[in-house]
Amino acid sequence: MPSVKQAIFILDDDMTLRKLLTLQLEEEEFLVVHCGTIAEAVRLLANQKFNCILLDVNIRGTTTEKLLHAIRENRSGYNFETPVIMLSGALEQEFVKRVARLIQGAVVKPFLFDTLLERVLEHCKPDTDS
């Protein structure tokens, strides 16, 4: 077990899902930071390095595609290279085509926690910059 927990960021407007994922991921020894708005996500992602980012595709009717582009375009940002896994109730083919090069995976809701955990473990790597 690593001495420093890997940090996962969750952006989802479903508070119940955020809390459930937080509890489950903390049981797996991850440090979890979560929020439900794009504005809060921008602030949090600008101030902390994460090992993995879980983004809901739609937050209160607004796509998170611009946020995803902002993360990837800010080469000096903490999370420029952080793996991103998209979460969605329905992934549209056109959306997937537009963001495919920016993300490491996607999980369609509803999902089993083990499915998400498998994706997180596949892509969430410890920092080696220490």
Mean pLDDT for each 10-residue chunk of the chain (130 residues)?
79 96 97 97 96 95 92 94 93 87 94 96 73
Q: Which domain holds residue 105?
A: 7-123
Q: Which residues pair with 63 in a beta bridge?
A: 58
Secondary structure element (H or E) that encloses residue 31, with its range = strand 31-35
For β-strands 84-88 and 52-56, DSSP reports them as: parallel
Q: Please check whether residue 128 lies inside any domain of the structure.
A: no
C-alpha dihedral sign at 12, 15, 16, 19: positive
**Within a domain: residue 110?**
yes
In a domain, 41, yes or no: yes
The CATH number that applies at residue 61 is 3.40.50.2300
Q: Record the tokens describing residue 106, joined without a space.
A: 């996607």
Q: What's the predicted TM-score (pTM) here?
A: 0.92
Number of independent structural domains in the chain: 1
Vertex 49: Cα angle to 29 and 89 (nearest 5): 70
CB 13 within 8 A of CB 55: no
Alpha carbon distance 22, 34 (integer Å): 8
pLDDT at 129: 53
